[in-house]
């Protein structure tokens, strides 16, 4: 379990993380989402003791990461796959991790097999690895201690579609066995497929959190029309809040049947009418972070 409570991290006058509170539960995958610069990586670095908190706390399994007697046996961490020692082979990287944690060397071959790095690839130096291979090696290093918790920052970077599917199944299986997974990613579809819970951050503050089903269900109704301006006006007259969702669509804060009734009464033709949860995580994410993303701020 991961608990983050009133966490704040400042750099001079900048609040990179601002009073952030959330938890990641055992047996569940928690997706940690936000635009670039939102504070995701800083929050994760505080969790694993690489960056001190200015105030507040972050604990893993009830303790600060620095207080864990053998952290790798309890928490698997992958924050930057490119930060591995370039001069070591993949096998040497895992052997060093195994020795550090007091593990038998047999774990090295087990993990190489688990992440599908071949014997030939294991003997190559990391500097000659593709980004996808480095990600596999990083995941192997995170898992070698058989931890209860995984903290992963963008682990799908560099993986091809088959690799992404493999990673998704691996993390889902880890959570199904009772493990806790905190996963940040900009690949929103992959988060939508795998995550049980979502935490959305923007400009260092939490803008939404809850189960995936709760957040997507609260999105209202997605409606499309060839007369979108007339529909927006009709909804406004009925007191229904609606925001643009693309060129010819609106996301209305009302049930689909009410939106349909308003359109019928106004004589507005509809080309699509459905619960907005079907629109997926991407639209919800863009709406929640519109005011905090780089592009939204520029606009």
**Residue range of the domain that includes 259:** 218-298
Residues 274, 221 contacting (CB under 8 angstroms): yes
pLDDT of 234: 95
Q: Are 145 and 243 within one domain?
A: no
The number of domains in the chain is 2
Q: Are 201 and 291 within one domain?
A: no
Q: Are 151 and 293 within one domain?
A: no
Which of the 8 DSSP states describes residue 125?
Answer: B
299 residues of the chain, pLDDT tens digit each: 999 999 999 999 899 999 999 999 999 999 999 888 889 999 999 999 999 999 999 999 999 999 999 999 999 999 998 889 999 999 999 999 999 999 999 999 999 999 999 999 999 999 999 999 999 999 999 999 999 999 999 998 888 889 999 999 999 999 999 999 999 987 777 788 899 999 999 889 998 899 987 777 666 788 999 999 999 999 999 999 888 877 888 888 888 899 999 999 999 999 999 877 655 667 677 766 766 555 544 44
Q: Are 199 and 231 within one domain?
A: no
Which pTM does this prediction carry?
A: 0.81
pLDDT of 292: 58
Q: Which of 211, 237, 269 is the last residue of a domain?
A: 211
Q: Are 122 and 225 within one domain?
A: no
Q: Quick one: CA dihedral 251, 256, 259, 264, positive or negative? A: positive
The two structure tokens encoding residue 101: 């944690």
Q: Are 254 and 153 within one domain?
A: no
Q: Are 247 and 199 within one domain?
A: no
Q: Which of 160, 186, 211 is the last residue of a domain?
A: 211
The two structure tokens encoding residue 151: 């903290």
Q: Are 142 and 235 within one domain?
A: no
Q: Are 67 and 129 within one domain?
A: yes
3-state secondary structure of 32: strand
Q: Are 176 and 90 within one domain?
A: yes
The two structure tokens encoding residue 256: 């689909």
Residues 38, 207 contacting (CB under 8 angstroms): no
What region does 129 belong to: left with phi over 0, alpha with psi -120 to 50, or beta? beta
Q: Are 262 and 192 within one domain?
A: no
């Amino acid at each position: 379990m991961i608990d983050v409570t009133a966490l704040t991290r400042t750099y001079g006058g900048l609040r990179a993380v601002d009073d952030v509170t959330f938890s990641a539960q055992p047996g569940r995958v928690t997706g940690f989402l936000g635009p670039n610069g939102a504070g995701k990586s800083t929050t994760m670095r505080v969790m694993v003791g690489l960056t001190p908190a200015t105030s507040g706390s972050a604990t893993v399994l009830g303790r600060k990461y620095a207080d864990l007697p053998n952290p790798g046996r309890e928490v698997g961490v992958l924050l930057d796959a490119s930060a591995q020692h370039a001069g070591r082979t993949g096998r040497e990287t895992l052997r060093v991790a195994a020795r550090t944690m007091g593990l038998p060397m047999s774990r090295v071959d087990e993990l190489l097999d688990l992440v599908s790095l071949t014997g030939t690839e294991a003997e190559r130096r990391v500097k000659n690895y593709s980004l996808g291979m480095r990600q596999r090696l990083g995941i192997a290093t995170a898992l070698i201690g058989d931890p209860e918790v995984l903290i992963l920052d963008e682990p799908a970077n560099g993986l091809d579609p088959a690799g992404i599917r493999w990673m998704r199944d691996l993390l889902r299986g880890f959570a199904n066995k009772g493990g806790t997974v905190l996963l940040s990613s900009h690949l929103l579809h992959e988060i939508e497929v795998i995550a049980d819970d979502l935490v959305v951050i923007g400009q260092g503050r939490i803008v939404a959190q809850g189960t995936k089903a709760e957040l997507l269900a609260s999105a209202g109704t997605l409606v499309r029309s060839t007369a979108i301006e007339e529909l927006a006006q009709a909804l406004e007259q009925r007191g229904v809040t609606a925001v643009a969702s693309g060129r010819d669509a609106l996301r209305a804060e009302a049930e689909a049947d009410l939106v349909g009734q308003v359109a019928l009464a106004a004589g507005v033709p509809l080309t699509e009418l459905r619960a907005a949860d079907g629109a997926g995580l991407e639209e919800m994410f863009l709406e929640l972070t519109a005011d905090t993303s780089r592009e939204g701020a520029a606009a």
